[in-house]
Amino acid sequence: MNSTLDISHIRLFSQVAHLLHTGEGVKCAFHLELWVGEFISSGQPFAILIRNQELYKWALEKYPYLDIVYAKTALDVESVLSKLPFLKAIYYFSNTGNLIHTLRFNIYQHIFLGHGDSDKAASAHKFFRVYDEIWVAGQAHIDRFKNANFNVEHIKFVKVGRPSLKFIVSKSVKEVGAERKVTNLTYFPTWEGAFEENNYSSAHLSAVMLSELQHKLDCTVVAKYHPLTASRDITLSGVGLSLEQALADKPFCIEVVDKTVPVEKLIIKADMFICDISAVVSECISSLMPIFIYIPTDREVVTSKSDMQYSDYAYVYSNIPQLIELVDRVIIQGDDYLSEARYKALDYLLSINETISDEFHKQLKRVNSDNSLMENKREQIIL
């Protein structure tokens, strides 16, 4: 291994048809975790291209049995791609600057997978026009682009559902309408964003807010802070400890889980959710449990809007008194007036049929069986 390239853990000149590209650092390892299991279960031949050395080391420990390569520079990337003769498509989890090193190759399909589905401003902007296809969970993401007022006619949108939530969605659809006592309140705040206009986080309210809710509902509180929390606002670095101290009188009723714990493992146990504007909302909807979403009104925030607003299927609040009033009506008095709307939102956001029927796996097979991609590669080699 040199300082910019390591090919010791990948079988070059193999049948690899799909390449997962991640240009992020180790704090965004969850981007990779969200999809790796689905590629494995598909049975399709794939490899992982990592651009950050720290994340590469993490991935080798996490997935020692997979084909993984570290390539930092443009020349390193080109060297790797030239030795994957059966490669047909490259998949992306986020829009990082270093993906230009793979996007410049016209012989491959460039497909955006993302790392969630939300109304954040980053969900639909002009950079997405660099991709051949955008694989979305549901119609909501397509509508965000439709409402963004720029031309995306050349992009092919493909609904693949949310394969990682297949079990939860199947279970929720079967049990729709069943009553459930709130014994587990789960809190999923987002981080403070790279800029204040993208700051949708309620983390600064969490210690007081969750302490009041726990005493009111006499339930267990599970909190999972975003892995990037305190990246911009260092005052949030001790927010988890503050929450534990706020509930020090009931230590067995509070659990601040590690940031690396997969969201789906927490969703299936939850009876209600407190969330921010983020992709986790679309994951929580998979359980069809009541969702309360923080939308700040003390600052101007920029979002990408679909045709179904949060208030159509979730209980929206902007301060703690509003939240307490909503919880009293919906949970304590039992007036869950958005329960039917959540089912509609589930299909709109996550595509129930596509999720349950493994549409993601079918689309991987489609790409692998597309012989025109190999013809394009041969033509360019001849030229």
- CATH class (in words) of the domain with range 167-349: alpha beta
Structure tokens at 356: 């349950």
Question: Which residue type is seen at 251?
Answer: P
Across the chain, which has 383 residues, the per-10-residue mean pLDDT values are 87 97 91 94 97 96 97 96 97 91 96 78 75 93 85 89 94 82 94 82 94 95 92 90 92 90 91 93 94 89 80 96 97 95 95 97 96 62 47
Residue 379: predicted pLDDT: 57
The whole-angstrom separation of Cα 26 and Cα 57 is: 9
Neighbours of 95 (CB within 10 A): 15
Residue 78: predicted pLDDT: 97
Residue 382: predicted pLDDT: 45
Q: Which long-range contacts (CB under 8 A, 24 or more apart) does 346-349 make?
A: 346/169, 346/172, 346/173, 346/285, 346/286, 346/288, 347/138, 348/138, 348/139, 348/140, 348/306, 348/308, 349/117, 349/137, 349/138, 349/140, 349/282, 349/285, 349/308
Residue 324: predicted pLDDT: 97
Domain 5-164+353-374 coded CATH 3.40.50.11720: yes
The whole-angstrom separation of Cα 289 and Cα 272 is: 5
Q: Would you say the pTM of this structure is higher than 0.75? A: yes
Quick one: which of 59, 21, 18, 55 has its CA closest to 40? 18
CB 165 within 8 A of CB 350: yes
Domain-wise residue ranges, the chain: 5-164+353-374, 167-349
Give the DSSP letter string of 160-221: ---GGGHHHHHHHHHTTT------EEEEE-----SSGGG----GGGHHHHHHHHHHHHT-EE
Phi–psi pair at 273, nearest 5 degrees? -130, 145
CB 282 within 8 A of CB 298: no
Sheet holding 272-276, edge to edge: 254-256, 220-223, 184-188, 272-276, 291-294, 315-317
Collapsing DSSP to helix, strand or coil, 150 comes out as coil
Whole-angstrom CA distances from 83 to 74, 143, 157 are 15, 39, 30
Question: Which residue type is seen at 237?
Answer: S
Structure tokens at 13: 């000149």
Quick one: which of 218, 227, 221 has its CA closest to 263? 227
The whole-angstrom separation of Cα 87 and Cα 107 is: 9
The whole-angstrom separation of Cα 179 and Cα 195 is: 41
5-164+353-374 with 167-349: one CATH topology? yes
Phi–psi pair at 28, nearest 5 degrees? -105, 30
Residue spans of beta strands (DSSP E) within the chain? 5-6, 18-22, 46-50, 68-71, 89-92, 109-112, 133-136, 156-159, 184-188, 220-223, 254-256, 272-276, 291-294, 315-317
Residue 193: predicted pLDDT: 83
Paired strand residues for 68: 48
Whole-angstrom CA distances from 231 to 63, 236, 256, 282 are 27, 9, 19, 24
